[in-house]
Structure 1
Amino acid sequence: MAGPGPGFAVCVYCASSDGVAPHYVKLADAVGRAVAARGWTLVSGGGRRSMMGAVAAGARAAGGRTVGVIPRSMVEREWADHDSDELVITESMRERKQEMEDRADAFLALPGGLGTCEELFEVWSAGVLGLHGKPVVLLDPDGHWDGLLDWVAGLGGRGFATFEPMGRLRVVRSDADPVGAALDACARPVG
């Protein structure tokens, strides 16, 4: 899929904690490289550790532009990816998320923990509410998010949600090229 060209930016949410299984770090690296191969800009949380560091390093290794957005408190803990082409330092996590959202044309969540889940839910629910019209994609090649997705799907049956939220999230699972399929989903307009 040709999709958007240079100037398009994808925000990638993923784990920044140490101890993540190596195949997830490799997945993040592959995503970064694939973003760069399309000529897109990578927007990330500005950390240099774990998957977050790997996605940015992968993008730069493939010639891509990276924008890291990180709160000052994390810079001071020496977690910042100072190799970012642009490192934006915010005063709070709320400002960080808003800056990342403002700079992105699409959002892609990889396997992650509570922080990734929180970021995914914020942009996903904002899309459902019509606060933005940007694609929200979940790359889940091994079922990492299955329990969460089952829970959300069950909300409708209990009267807590319509089925619209599940339709607003694009989930990419195993595929011959899951990374390429996820980026294709990022490139498809909503609606």
Structure 2
Amino acid sequence: MKSIAVFCGASLGNDALIISEAYQLGKTLAKENITLVYGAAKIGVMGRVAEGTLDHNGKVIGVIPDFLKTKEIASNLLTELIVTKNMHDRKVIMYEKSDGFIIMPGGFGTLDEFFEITTWGQLGLHSKPIGILNTNGYYDALIGQSKVMVERGFLKQENLEAVVVDTTIEGVLEKMKNFEPLPKPKWLNTERI
């Protein structure tokens, strides 16, 4: 993988381990020569990931909609800053620029990004690895709810297993590198896309 999009919060939250892990993820990406693609903010968990990457001479591509440039305080230290018209365009560009996706702790926006990119994978629109970095058990409840969805027949087990989960940076990256994509759904007619 040459580039990874990291979806995470524009807030820092109140868990010191998450804040520290965000910086470490950025540092690890830089050391492995993986370009960080993220939401362009210099604040919050997002800012810590970018800081970790930049402090260790890594490349960082930030993607932000014009209306959020001030609110999320776009970093001016990035390798590349892409300004979009809206949130949807932001997600599309982050998808296009990335070979995989890591989900770190965040709020509704992070979950929106996670669910959209995961749904695209489930539908066969991409075969890129998606990893949840479950720092300090942050996503335990979401993982539990996903298992309920499988039990109740709303989610296939293979679609749940297509999202790799680990509590460590090294673990999630290793699982993403060894990721085996789901076969394309038989009903998907690629000529329509």
Q: Which residue of 1 aligns with 2:185?
A: none
2:85 to 88, 91, 95: 91
Whole-angstrom distance in 2 between the partners of 1:115 and 1:121: 10
Deviation by residue 1:119-174 (Cα, 9 ceiling, x = unmatched): 1111111111111010000010321111111111111222222212211100002x
Mapping for residues 81-120 of structure 1, pairs under 5 Å? 81-120=75-114
Moved more, 125-134 or 20-29: 20-29
The residue type paired with residue 113 of structure 1 is G
Per the alignment, in what secondary structure is the counterpart of residue 159 of structure 1?
coil
Confirm or deny that 1:69 pairs with 2:63.
yes
Paired-residue identity, % = 31
CA RMSD of aligned residues (A): 1.4
Shift in Å at residue 180 of structure 1? 1.4
Distance 2:75 2:175 in 1: 27
**Alignment equivalent of 2:173, drawn from 160, 165, 183:** 183
* Matched residue count: 181
5+ residue gaps, structure 2, are 182-193
8 Å Cα contact 2:43-2:72 kept in structure 1: no
Q: CA deviation at 1:12?
A: 0.5
Q: Could you tell me how far apart the structure 2 residues matched to 1:55 and 1:141 are? A: 14
Distance 1:45 1:20, change over 3 A: farther
Whole-angstrom distance in 2 between the partners of 1:88 and 1:20: 29
1:189 deviates by: 3.9
Report deviation, 1:18: 4.2
| Residue 30 (structure 1) shift | 0.2
Tell me the CA shift for residue 78 of structure 1. 6.0
TM-score (norm 1): 0.89
Contact 2:18 2:136 in 1 (8 A): no
Distance 1:91 1:180, change over 3 A: same
Q: Which runs of 5+ in 1 are unaligned?
A: none
SS in 2 for 1:82: coil
Aligned-pair distance for 1:38?
0.4
Q: Equivalences for 1:27-176 in 2 at 5 Å?
A: 27-77=21-71, 79-173=73-167
SS of the residue aligned with 1:76?
Answer: coil
Quote the Cα distance in structure 2 between the aligned partners of 1:18 and 1:37. Answer: 24
